[in-house]
Amino acid sequence: MNKQERVTFVINTLKELYPTIPVPLDHKDPYTLLIAVLLSAQCTDVRVNQITPLLFAKADNPYDMIKMSVEEIKEIIRPCGLSPMKSKGIHGLSHILIDKHGGKVPQSFEFLEELPAVGHKTASVVMSQAFGVPAFPVDTHIHRLMYRWNLTNGKNVVQTEKDAKRIFPEEIWNDLHLQIIWYGRQYSPARGWDLEKDIITKTIGRKTVLDAYYKK
């Protein structure tokens, strides 16, 4: 298969497997999504979904969040890891949302990335999942799969995001990045990977990746 055929194969296979696409992080509005995504750094979505109800029961908007101390936030979110940095980030960005944005999450990459503890990937998730703006947030699953599928030589997520945006049509980015995440978790994980179940990698995988798998 040439590259375009591989891209089409990926799109069609994922559409068949995931006709409806659940959003991995539980949330009810842009603010709760922003906080959930921030908490998900170096933490599983399952763990985040266990912790956010405890946090949002006390504060599910910036006005209630700043009534809590950084220490109180830190205690609740501790199981998510990196709690000193994340609690300061949550408290700080809640203040900025109130002071600069009328308590609302801004619909802009630029303003989102100005918030403490919010990087490009977090901003991309919020823009795509909360506001429907085309974005292609690249996490470790997408980075791994794009490499396995020989669709990027990216040594980092920045290059992988550029490659993904170049080869996939913009109108499907928001669905596709979620489909790839779910596929990576179910069929093409980093550990305990069974190539027989991973139809996409088995069909179009990078030769060096397949050779290394079979050598094992």
Burial category of 153 from C-beta neighbours within 10 Å (exposed 0-12, middle 13-18, buried 19 and up): exposed
C-alpha pair distances (Å), 123 with each of 48, 52, 55: 18, 19, 21
pLDDT tens string 81-130: 999 999 999 999 999 999 999 999 999 999 999 999 999 999 999 999 99
Say how many C-beta atoms besides its own lie within 10 A of residue 210's C-beta: 16
Asked, colleague to colleague, whether 3-21+137-215 and 30-131 share their fold, the answer is: no
CA nearest to 75, candidates 98, 97, 60, 91: 91
Q: Give the tokens for residue 29.
A: 């509005």
Alpha carbons 16 and 137: distance in angstroms, whole number = 22
Provide, rounded to the nearest whole percent, the portion of the chain with pLDDT above 90: 97
* CATH architecture of residue range(s) 3-21+137-215: Orthogonal Bundle (1.10)
Task: Answer for the pair 40, 25: CB distance below 8 angstroms, yes or no.
Answer: yes
Question: CA geometry: angle at 200 spanning 197 and 202, to 5°?
Answer: 65
Q: How far apart are CA 145 and CA 187, in angstroms?
A: 10
Q: Where are the domains of the chain?
A: 3-21+137-215, 30-131
Write the DSSP symbol of residue 185: H
- How confident is residue 216, by pLDDT bands cut at 50, 70 and 90? confident
Active-site residue, from 139, 163, 198, 211: 139
Is the pLDDT score of 140 beyond 90? no
215 is catalytic: no
Mean pLDDT of 43-47: 96
| Confidence category of residue 64, pLDDT binned at 50, 70, 90 | very high
**153-203 per-position pLDDT tens digit:** 988 999 999 999 999 999 999 999 999 999 999 999 999 999 999 999 999
70 pLDDT band (50/70/90 cuts)?
very high
CA angle 204/208/213 to nearest 5° reads 85
What is the average pLDDT across 119-147? 96
Within a 10 A sphere around the Cβ of 99, how many other Cβ atoms? 11
Phi, psi (degrees; rounded to nearest 5) at 116: -60, 140
Amino acid in position 103: G
Which one is catalytic: 121, 197, 198, 207? 121
pLDDT value at residue 69: 98
Q: Judge whether 155 counts as a catalytic residue.
A: no
Q: What pLDDT does residue 154 have?
A: 81
**What is the model's pLDDT at position 4?**
96
**CATH number for the domain whose boundaries are 30-131:** 1.10.340.30
Chain CA centroid to CA 122, Å: 7
